[in-house]
Amino acid sequence: MMNIRVVGDQIGVEVSGVDVKSISDEDFAKIYQAWIDHNVLVVTGQELTIPEFLAYSRRFGIIKPHPSKSTRHPDYPDITLLGVNKFGPDGKLNETIYRRGAEGWHTDGAYEKIPFKATQLYALAIPDRGGDTYFASGYEAYEALPQRLKDQLEGVVGAFTYGTPGLLNPEDEDWKPALHPIIRTHRESGRKSLYFDRLKIVCLQGLEKTVSDDLIADLKERMIQPYGQYVHKWSVGDIVIWDNRCSYHKAAGDYPPEQDRIHWRVSIKDWDAASVPN
């Protein structure tokens, strides 16, 4: 029997007692709404093949291959492999792979003209300790802004670019910044969120550089609210999806390097992504 329970104060919900391979449309609608309401959705206890994981993921939207071609699955390019090949031929730890996602709080796909709606991970191997993923609510970040900042940022557009060095092929590194509103109204929930990424933000369009720089520095301090966070401690078989339109995340980057922390990852856009406004 499906059970849905809230796991965080303002963000995070867990679903148990389901098999996503055979879930009905009625039950999926409940899961989808729980995700919209709580930003981050955990489904526990799954045993999936890649085609089964992809089929479930496509119920949320259209899967788009991640721009990091070197980390795509060789047979399933829609899948990004996280945590594999982290040691080079010389036995040295590749920090870019080991600490991927742990560089700081961010939202996936802000560098895209139409950002990723969601990111979904499926856990294949988990270390004995560490390796958690942290999430924070963009809704709460917006609500916590003083009214003067809400007014100042309304209608302001940010320029975002790809922010993780070492993951793109040389021919893909000349990334033209994408433009998105800093205050974003979620098209499904109707709530306002602070759309921000401290790693990918370049500037705020139409503002003097000093004003833009000062505002960005201020938002870096305000984007994470302590009462709007959820920490996920992984188990093998967990599926976690988060809403990039209204939340931030980061990996801990603290697990024993000699142990495995391996996930399948997909990047998801809306079904009508070509017509969705930024």
Banded pLDDT at 171 (limits 50, 70, 90):
low
Are 265 and 54 within 8 A, CB to CB? no
pLDDT score recorded for residue 275: 54
Q: How far apart are CA 192 and CA 271, in angstroms?
A: 22
* pLDDT score of 265 more than 60: yes
CA 204: distance to chain centroid?
22
Mean residue pLDDT across the chain: 92
How far apart (Å, rounded) are the C-alpha atoms in residues 217 and 48? 42
Residue 133 lies in a domain: yes
Q: Could you write out the three-class secondary structure of the chain? A: CCEEEECCCCCCEEEECCCCCCCCHHHHHHHHHHHHHHCEEEECCCCCCHHHHHHHHCCCCEEECCCCHHHECCCCCCCEEECCCCECCCCCECHHHHCCCCCCCECCCCCCCCCCCEEEEEEEECCCCCCCEEEEEHHHHHHHCCHHHHHHHCCCEEEECCCCCCCCCHHHCCCCCEEEECEEECCCCCCEEECCCCCCEEEECCCCHHHHHHHHHHHHHHCCCHHHEEEECCCCCCEEEEECCCEEEEECCCCCCCCCCEEEEEEEECCCHHHCCC
**Inside any domain, residue 186:** no
Q: Is the model more confident about 28 or about 169? A: 28
Asked if residue 165 has pLDDT above 60, the reply is: no
* Distance between first and last Cα of the chain: 38
Q: Any residues with CB less than 8 A from the CB of 157 and at least 6 apart, and which?
A: 179, 180, 181, 182, 204, 205, 206
Task: Find the mean pLDDT for residues 76-82.
Answer: 96
- Do residues 158 and 203 make contact, with C-beta atoms less than 8 angstroms apart? yes
Number of domains in the chain: 1
Q: Can you read off the two tokens belonging to residue 87?
A: 């040691």
Q: Which of 35-49, 136-150, 154-168 has the lowest mean pLDDT?
A: 154-168
- Mean local confidence (pLDDT), 139-167: 89
Residue 172 has pLDDT above 80, yes or no: no
Q: For the chain, what percent of residues have pLDDT higher than 90?
A: 83
| Report field, pTM of the whole predicted structure over 0.85 | yes
Q: Which two tokens stand for residue 159?
A: 């320029």
Q: Domain residues for 234?
A: 3-141+225-275
pLDDT digits (tens, 9 = 90+) for 109-145: 999 999 999 999 999 999 999 999 999 999 999 999 9
Whether residue 117 is contained in a domain is answered as yes
Domain annotation covers residue 262: yes
Q: In what order do the strands lie in the sheet with 133-137?
A: 229-232, 133-137, 247-251
In whole angstroms, give the CA distance from residue 180 to residue 194: 11
Residue 94 has pLDDT above 70, yes or no: yes
Residue 180 lies in a domain: no
21 phi-psi bin (left φ>0, alpha ψ -120 to 50, beta other): alpha
Choice among 46-50, 112-116, 189-193 with the minimum mean pLDDT: 112-116
Amino acid, single-letter form, for residue 108: D
**Residue 122 within any structural domain of the chain:** yes
Look up the CATH number of the domain holding residue 35: 3.60.130.10
What's the confidence (pLDDT) of residue 26? 97
| Per-residue pLDDT, 278 | 46
User: What confidence score (pLDDT) does residue 3 get?
Assistant: 96
Mean pLDDT is highest, among 193-197, 198-202, 225-229, for 193-197
Structural domain includes residue 108: yes
Looking at the DSSP bridge assignments, the partners of residue 179 are 159
pLDDT, average across residues 67-81? 92
Mean pLDDT across the stretch 188-203?
95
What proportion of the chain, given as a percentage, has pLDDT over 70?
A: 93
Q: Is residue 49 part of a domain?
A: yes
Which residue in the block uniquely carries the two structure tokens 């079904």?
271
Residue 9 confidence (pLDDT): 84
User: What pLDDT was estimated at residue 176?
Assistant: 84
Are the C-beta atoms of residues 189 and 33 closer than 8 Å to each other?
A: no
